[in-house]
């Protein structure tokens, strides 16, 4: 599968310095995983997907900085693993999980970590704006400040970081 503008924009928005522990939720074929690897030095990436077929595709990438995890975000046990950067491309976490995913992100993202969500709805569809509104609202309730980054329509690109209020 080819690199698209949404994959490139999502990985650029992570603003990696190369040393981070990164999580991609819904990694699919691993297109963005490859882009992240180009930017990592000592860092590592966990590629999570609920589809065995997708995980099998990522396993074809020969790079020991990747760990694959099979499972849905809402069910997988990540133990005490924490991440500096978490992202998802074309995955609407609101659909099946309600607001639960924001609590999970709050738990697994390190304090100064960032979350990037890139979502490209079909042209003319309202789904992108609904996605943006819902994410901003739900992340805000969890103590995140959400920035909407410039992106060519219809791509919605969000970057979230914790506000001071989110720290216990
Ligand atoms: C539309 S595809 C996008 C794939 C990839 N991110 C891309 O843009 O090329 C969505 C992917 O997310 C996975 N997925 C859906 N819900 C998930 C969840 N709750 N947890 C983990 N993966 C999920 C699907 O199996 C699928 O591979």
Domains (range + CATH), the chain: 5-166 (3.40.50.150)
Q: Tell if the pTM clears 0.75, that is, is over it.
A: yes
Closest C-alpha among 113, 100, 101, 102 to residue 140: 102
Q: What is the pLDDT of residue 165?
A: 65
The answer to whether residue 167 scores a pLDDT higher than 70 is no
- Residue closest via CA to ligand 1's atom 14 equals 26
Tokens of 82: 């924490």
Closest CA to 114 of 5, 18, 25, 13: 13
pLDDT for the residue 58: 98
78 lines ligand 1 (CB under 6 A): no
The answer, yes or no, to whether any atom of ligand 1 lies below 6 A from the CB of 33, is no
Q: What are phi and psi of 85, to 5 degrees?
A: -145, 130
Question: In this predicted structure, what is the pLDDT of residue 1?
Answer: 86
User: Burial of 8 by CB count in 10 Å (0-12 exposed, 13-18 middle, 19+ buried)?
Assistant: middle
Give alpha helix (H) positions in the chain: 5-14, 31-39, 52-58, 94-97, 100-108, 127-141
Ligand 1 center to 27 CA (angstroms): 6
What are 38-74's pLDDT values in tens digits?
999 999 999 999 999 999 999 999 999 999 999 999 9
Tell me what pLDDT residue 81 has. Answer: 97
Read off the pLDDT of residues 17-40 as tens digits, 9 standing for 90 and up. 999 999 999 999 999 999 999 999
Q: Which residue has the tokens 């991609």?
A: 24
Instruction: Decide if 129 contacts 137 (C-beta within 8 A).
Output: no
Is residue 51 lining ligand 1, measured as CB closer than 6 Å?
A: yes
Contact between 35 and 7 (Cβ < 8 Å): yes
Strands 21-25 and 44-49, by their bridges, are parallel
Please name the residue whose Cα sits nearest to atom 19 of ligand 1.
Answer: 72
CA of residue 110 to ligand 1 center, whole Å: 23
């Amino acid at each position: 599968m080819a690199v698209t503008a949404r994959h490139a924009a999502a990985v650029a928005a992570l603003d990696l310095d190369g040393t981070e522990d990164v999580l991609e939720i819904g990694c699919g074929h691993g297109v963005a995983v490859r882009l992240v690897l180009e930017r990592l030095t000592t860092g590592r990436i966990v590629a999570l997907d609920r589809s065995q077929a997708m995980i099998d595709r990522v396993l074809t990438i020969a790079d020991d900085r990747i760990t694959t995890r099979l499972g849905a975000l809402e069910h997988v046990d990540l133990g005490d693993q924490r991440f500096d950067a978490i992202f998802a491309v074309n995955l609407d976490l609101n659909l099946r999980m309600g607001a639960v995913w924001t609590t999970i992100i709050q738990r697994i993202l390190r304090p100064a970590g960032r979350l990037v969500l890139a979502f490209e709805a079909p042209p003319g569809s309202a789904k992108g704006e609904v996605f943006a509104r819902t994410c901003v609202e739900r992340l805000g309730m969890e103590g995140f400040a959400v920035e909407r980054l410039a992106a060519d329509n219809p791509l919605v690109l969000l970057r979230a970081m914790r506000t001071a209020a989110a720290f216990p």
